Amino acid sequence: MQQLTTRMKEFKRSPISGLLFALVHLAAAVTVFVLLFLIFYILYHGIPNLTLPGLFAWEYDSKNVSMMPAIINTVIMTVLSLAMAVPLGIFSAIYLVEYSRKGNKLVKVIRITAETLSGIPSIVYGLFGYILFVITLGWGYTLLSGAITLAIMILPLIIRTTEEALIAVPDSFREGSFGLGAGKLRTVFKIVLPSAVPGILAGVILAIGRIVGESAALIFTAGTNPAVPDSLFASTRTLSVHMYALLSEGLYTPQAYATAVVLLVVVIGINALSGAVAKKLSSKR
Amino acid sequence: MRKYSEKAMELVFMASATVSIIAVAVICIFLFSKGAPAIFEIGVLDFLGGTVWKPLEGQFGIFPMIVGSIYVTAGAIILGVPVAILCAVFMAKFCSDRLYRFLKPAIDLLAGIPSIVYGFFGLMVVVPMVREFFGGSGKSILTASILLAIMILPTIIGVTESAIRAVPESYYEGALALGATHERSVFFTTLPAAKSGVLAGVVLGIGRAIGETMAVVMIAGNQATLPNGLTSGIRTMTANIVLEMGYASDGIHRNALIATAVVLFVFILIINLSLSLLKRRDD
């Protein structure tokens, strides 16, 4: 209380301080309000729609517009993209952190291109995937086209988070391992990587979030077929694409609300998980 | 034996690392090889400067779309940047640890919400709001700007906050010692010292706004004509691609859409370049 009165005195002497004080609080309040409003708006309007008949039926048809196949497809798409991007990303980061020497030209180019990749909009990825896989290779709209496109898209994210996790491993770990006679490879795999796992995992979880939320890159690569694929070369739609399809048909607003709820819950879960993993990392140190 | 596996794995690591380079190269090659001929076939000036987009009549002017992208991006920056910077200042210099533990995940969540959900929210909430207060159909430059402003908040807040935290505490303490209030010290010594980081955040925000597709396509109205006010609808370059790619027949129409992506890509490259220049100045 006393603190407050001294502050008020200060603001009287310097009104601009009072104004700035009010503005920063207002800005933070607005930001939080927008987030909470969005979440509660979607939940409030969406949750009653979750009980629509057949919304979670195993088979999709135009009557029940079930989102179950889309949910299964999302899982398949996520696993496939991660299977490609995670090893590549981790190996890239190992090269950048453990093997490259300072001032290496190749490393510079790799960093610039990784940064470029992370700035490319998802629609451009989608179009690229369309030109390469759908047209040039003649695959058509397929699960594989979508998964490869997404893998390229999340690669820079995996590289960056893994790099940060590897850099955070103290050099004494490496020196200790070398001192005991281990080679470079053994040091990397047995000492450095295990201690960097939480950081890498937090990055992978963020990447899952991006895959689940992606729609623009998938519409023209994986297509919008609402069935569970029977091969890598079948067309699929993930949950986000499903929602876009519902909205562009314009007839299924209640179902779109329900889909938004599921997407939102998944994203909130993913973010919480990533946060928890990252916290584990910082508490260990 | 061990020597060989060491060497082999180093090569594997290096090969993995070059995938980024290959990816960028392949993306450039495929986009430009399809898009550039289309631009020259239509004519560079007719394509970039033409104001009529009627694919069925063979008119491919994307000037309205370029203007559209720039307008909604500018609108998002005008609305979003002040809020984002102030919020970042609050997080770095004003809020208690307990509040921060709530605020930080909230901002991360804002970044994690899929753009299709943002678009849906915009369609259900922002569009009717704009229709109510400003008239028109509600699908307009203003609507898209408001929604994009929300979407770029977490990007700018994150970069700005870490830039502010990177400023040495002695700047702030020096100002306090000279008798400045907490607010004056933060805004007139710490924040100016972080300005290249803040600018980098804004540039990153521009990149996100101009590349956003699914949210914008649902709320911007998508008329491929030059706008005559804040409440008139607009089509962005990204929306142009999504709207027509599905039914564009093989040939010049499809290639014109790819060429639209090429123009967008060039915008992004310029943004990336200015970003790395900013970072270099920082170091």
Chain B residues in contact with A247 (beta carbon < 8 A)? 116, 119-120, 123, 218
The nearest alpha carbon in chain B to A213 belongs to B114
**Chain A touched by B34 (CB under 8 Å):** yes
Q: Given this model, what pLDDT does residue A81 score? A: 96
pLDDT by residue (tens digit) across B161-181? Answer: 999 999 999 999 999 999 888
Mean of per-residue pLDDT scores for chain B: 91
Instruction: Give the Cα separation of A148 and A144 in Å (integer).
Output: 6
- Decide if domain A68-284 falls under CATH 1.10.3720.10: yes
Q: What is the pLDDT of residue A100?
A: 83
Q: Is B190 on the interface with A (CB under 8 A)?
A: no
* Token pair 């599921």 in the structure block, residue: A262
Q: Which of B245, B243, B246, B225 is nearest to B234 (CA)?
A: B225
Q: For B23-49, what is each residue's pLDDT tens digit?
A: 999 999 999 998 999 999 888 889 998
Asked whether the beta carbons of A37 and A48 are under 8 A apart, the reply is no
B280: left (phi over 0), alpha (psi -120 to 50) or beta: alpha
Q: Please write the tens of the pLDDT for every residue from A56-98.
A: 877 787 777 888 889 999 999 999 999 999 999 999 999 999 8
Residue type, position B206, single letter: I
Burial class (CB in 10 A: 0-12, 13-18, 19+), B118: buried
pLDDT tens-digit map of A118-169: 999 999 999 999 999 998 998 989 999 999 999 999 999 999 999 999 999 9
- pLDDT tens string B217-267: 999 988 888 888 888 889 999 999 999 887 877 788 999 999 999 999 999
Residue B228: the pLDDT is 86
Q: Do B113 and A38 touch (CB under 8 A)?
A: yes
Mutate to test the interface with B, among A128, A193, A214, A246 (most CBs of B within 10 A): A128
Q: Residue B179: left (phi > 0), alpha (psi -120 to 50), or beta?
A: left
What's the number of CA atoms in the CB half-sphere (13 Å) around residue A213? Answer: 31
CA distance A228 to chain B (A): 22
Domains and CATH numbers, chain B: 53-282 (1.10.3720.10)
Chain A with chain B: Cβ pairs closer than 8 A: 241
What distance in Å separates residue B238's CA from the closest CA in chain A? 7
Question: Using CB atoms and an 8 Å cut-off, which of residues 67-106 of chain B contact chain A?
Answer: 82-87, 89-91, 94-95, 103, 105-106
Per-residue pLDDT at B191 exceeds 70: yes
Task: Tell me how far apart the alpha carbons of residues A123 and B256 are, in angstroms, rounded to a whole number.
Answer: 15
ipTM: 0.91
Q: How far is CA A53 from CA A65, A258, B7, in A?
A: 10, 12, 60
Reduced to 3 states, what is the DSSP secondary structure of residue B234? Answer: strand
